[in-house]
């Protein structure tokens, strides 16, 4: 009778397992690791794959966790290499069918939180209306092209507004620091909707912007089959209420939608919506966030440092992906600085949502094939910082602070959507830039002293952190790196409090908030998870 073992193995880079997780090589490596004949390995499945490029190891290696089916149990001398296979637990997404007496549920926002919330509600029998101010992903892409190529901004269809939310134009990174039981559920649903199966295996899964388009179209088809009604290009301007209960939403075109429940899954850039909600009395508070720049480096510089290659002229082994990094520093003033949303082999893109303001972000395609790496390099901003900078501590203080930075970045780019930038070495030397390093940014860069745009506590923290980061990644703070302003949309500067059990907003029965905009997520995965959790709360409350 065959046995199943949960096996951990480490593979050298020369072994071609990672080229599609080549089965024959993996079976041979597993047999050798367990000390059994190759014919004893009946089958195997990769359940986890991670690249270990830590400095303490002489060379990077792949770490794999496998479920292996064997003819017989390995000898005792080899058993220490294995652990018992995990018992498959039931899905944590257990929710009752919704009561037939519940009317339509309006979900506002078609980003990850809104899509996954609508998905679970609909499969449990809810009548869902999904309202999105932007366009479907197909036509949204044309608007982005117009902005990136010609500087024509559509305030309602851009990097942040439209199907898929801000995550559509990103690296499609799916890793999160949350250790949530719903992570496999989210990944499984994505694979059902044409995401690559490797996202269920990789320690740092990503999809790529080009593949996200196809996945979002499949999600829309799946939700439509459950009866979800999609309303694109419909901006919600307010709530309809009666006797303290939400009864629907009002639209910018003068129309209205009646609903028994309303879920606000608006993203971190829906500033006008937050202003309208605050005017209606929805409770809201400022919260800490971060601002800074996008750091752009030659990918070869990052590869050489992270993979410990013999100089930049040494090509990266074909078995390795473009190298990434995650950097953190604590300045002498005890302020945190860190890299954010790192995109190997990617590009920096303009991400404005309001005229005459400039914001940048990063993205990459599935192949991560450009010769540049980029990452947000951001500094923590607390409520005390907002007060010291003259913005007070009110609910929208962070929004006002962001807008000021974005307006100054626009002016610093010669009042165009060219982005102001300087070399990293110029910032650390406290000198005005005379030239810039090569870049992949479109429409283009303008040399600018970022000390004139960023608050003093921000640029001084960045300069100090760059010196620390250069010790970890040789050349990180050199003249080969551009710092491009301004990275201001790292997370929402607002939180809408919600009841910890029911999920409802106090004082507004039937109103729920979810995802990044209301302050409960920070990326595709955490937003999707929060959307599913919110759907669970609604279904359990109505049961």
Asked if 169 and 134 touch (Cβ cutoff 8 Å), the reply is no
- Virtual torsion, Cα 95, 525, 181, 68, nearest 10 deg: 120
- pTM for the structure as a whole: 0.93
- Virtual torsion, Cα 72, 75, 80, 83, nearest 10 deg: 10
Q: Which residue has the tokens 């100090």?
A: 464
Distance, CA of 138 to CA of 142 (rounded, Å): 7
- Residue ranges of the domains in the chain? 3-83, 105-284+496-542, 289-487
Q: Across the chain, which distance is largest between two alpha carbons, in Å?
A: 75
Q: What is the pLDDT of residue 87?
A: 47
Asked if 30 and 83 touch (Cβ cutoff 8 Å), the reply is no
Asked if 389 and 406 touch (Cβ cutoff 8 Å), the reply is no
- Which H or E run contains 356? none
Distance, CA of 379 to CA of 459 (rounded, Å): 9
Distance, CA of 228 to CA of 214 (rounded, Å): 19
- Of 28, 5, 8, 4, give the one whose Cα is nearest residue 16: 28
Q: What is the pLDDT of residue 85?
A: 47
- Of 2, 3, 24, give the one whose Cα is nearest residue 15: 24
Cis geometry, peptide bond prior to residue 443 (ω within 30 degrees of 0):
yes
- Of 55, 51, 54, give the one whose Cα is nearest residue 63: 51
Give me 175's structure tokens.
């890793």
Q: What is the pLDDT of residue 318?
A: 80
Question: Block means of pLDDT (10 residues each) for the chain, length 543 residues?
Answer: 80 54 77 88 89 76 88 65 51 86 96 98 97 96 91 94 91 81 95 94 89 95 98 98 97 97 97 98 98 97 91 81 95 96 95 97 92 97 98 97 98 94 98 96 96 98 98 96 97 96 94 97 95 96 66
Distance, CA of 529 to CA of 187 (rounded, Å): 10
Residue 56 CB partners (closer than 8 Å, separation 6+): none
Q: Is the dihedral of CA 315, 320, 324, 329 positive or negative?
A: negative
Number of H helices, E strands in the chain: 13, 24
Q: Per this entry, what is the length of the chain?
A: 543
Q: What is the pLDDT of residue 55?
A: 66
- Which H or E run contains 223? helix 209-225
Distance, CA of 374 to CA of 295 (rounded, Å): 5
Distance, CA of 4 to CA of 40 (rounded, Å): 12
Look at residue 416 and give its three-state secondary structure. Answer: coil
Asked if 426 and 437 touch (Cβ cutoff 8 Å), the reply is no
Please state which CATH class domain 105-284+496-542 belongs to.
alpha beta
Residue 325 CB partners (closer than 8 Å, separation 6+): 302, 306, 339, 342, 375, 472, 473
Integer CA distances (angstroms), 316 to 56, 164, 321, in order: 19, 33, 8
Distance, CA of 110 to CA of 22 (rounded, Å): 37
Asked if 162 and 114 touch (Cβ cutoff 8 Å), the reply is no
Distance, CA of 211 to CA of 318 (rounded, Å): 22
The topology under which CATH files domain 3-83 is Dodecin subunit-like (3.30.1660)
- Which H or E run contains 384? helix 383-388
Distance, CA of 12 to CA of 542 (rounded, Å): 54
Read off the DSSP letter of residue 64.
E
Give me 358's structure tokens.
């400039």
Q: Is the dihedral of CA 51, 516, 509, 253 positive or negative?
A: negative
């Amino acid at each position: 009778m065959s046995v199943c073992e949960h096996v951990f193995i480490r593979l050298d880079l020369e072994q071609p397992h990672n080229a599609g997780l080549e089965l024959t090589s993996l079976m041979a490596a597993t047999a050798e690791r367990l000390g059994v004949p190759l014919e004893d390995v009946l089958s195997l499945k990769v359940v986890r794959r991670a690249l270990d490029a830590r400095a303490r190891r002489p060379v990077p290696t792949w770490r794999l966790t496998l479920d292996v089916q064997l003819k017989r149990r390995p000898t005792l001398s080899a058993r220490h290499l294995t652990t018992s296979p995990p018992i498959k637990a039931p899905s944590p997404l257990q929710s009752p069918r919704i009561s037939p007496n519940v009317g339509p549920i309006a979900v506002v926002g078609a980003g990850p939180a809104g899509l996954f919330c609508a998905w679970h509600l609909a499969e449990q029998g809810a009548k869902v209306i999904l309202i999105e101010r932007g366009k479907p992903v197909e036509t949204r892409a044309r608007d982005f092209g117009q902005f990136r190529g010609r500087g024509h901004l559509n305030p309602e269809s851009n990097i942040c507004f439209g199907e898929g939310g801000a995550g559509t134009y990103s690296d499609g990174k799916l890793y999160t620091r949350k250790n949530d039981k719903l992570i496999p559920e989210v990944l499984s649903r994505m694979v059902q909707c044409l995401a690559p199966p490797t996202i269920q295996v990789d320690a740092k899964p990503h999809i790529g912007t080009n593949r996200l388009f196809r996945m979002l179209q499949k999600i829309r088809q799946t939700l439509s089959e459950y009866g979800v009604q999609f309303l694109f290009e419909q901006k919600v301007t307010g709530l309809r209420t009666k006797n303290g209960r939400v009864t629907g939403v009002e639209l910018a075109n003068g129309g209205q939608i009646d609903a028994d429940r309303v879920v606000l899954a608006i993203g971190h850039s829906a500033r006008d919506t937050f202003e309208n909600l605050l005017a209606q009395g929805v409770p809201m508070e400022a919260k800490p966030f971060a601002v800074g720049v996008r750091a752009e480096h030659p990918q070869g510089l990052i590869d050489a440092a992270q993979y410990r290659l013999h100089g930049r002229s040494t090509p990266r082994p074909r078995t390795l992906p473009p190298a990434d990094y995650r950097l953190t520093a604590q300045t002498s003033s005890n302020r945190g600085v860190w890299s954010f949303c790192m995109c190997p082999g990617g590009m920096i893109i303009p991400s404005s949502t309001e005229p005459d303001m400039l914001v940048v972000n990063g993205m990459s395609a599935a192949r991560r094939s450009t010769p540049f790496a980029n990452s947000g390099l951001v500094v923590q901003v607390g409520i005390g910082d907002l007060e010291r900078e003259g913005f007070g501590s009110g609910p929208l203080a962070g929004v006002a602070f962001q807008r000021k930075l974005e307006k100054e970045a626009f002016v610093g780019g010669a009042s165009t959507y060219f982005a102001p930038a300087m070399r990293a070495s110029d910032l650390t030397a406290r000198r005005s830039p005379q030239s810039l390093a090569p870049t992949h940014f479109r429409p283009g860069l303008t040399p600018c002293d970022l000390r004139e745009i960023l608050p003093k506590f921000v640029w001084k923290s960045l300069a100090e952190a760059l010196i620390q980061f250069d010790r970890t990644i040789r050349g990180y703070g050199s003249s080969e790196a551009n710092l491009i302003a301004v990275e201001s949309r790292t997370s929402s500067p607002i939180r809408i409090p919600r009841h910890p059990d029911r999920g409802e907003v106090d004082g507004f029965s039937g109103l729920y908030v979810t995802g990044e905009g209301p302050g409960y997520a920070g990326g595709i995965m955490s937003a999707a998870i929060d959307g599913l959790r919110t759907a669970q709360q609604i279904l359990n409350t109505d049961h």
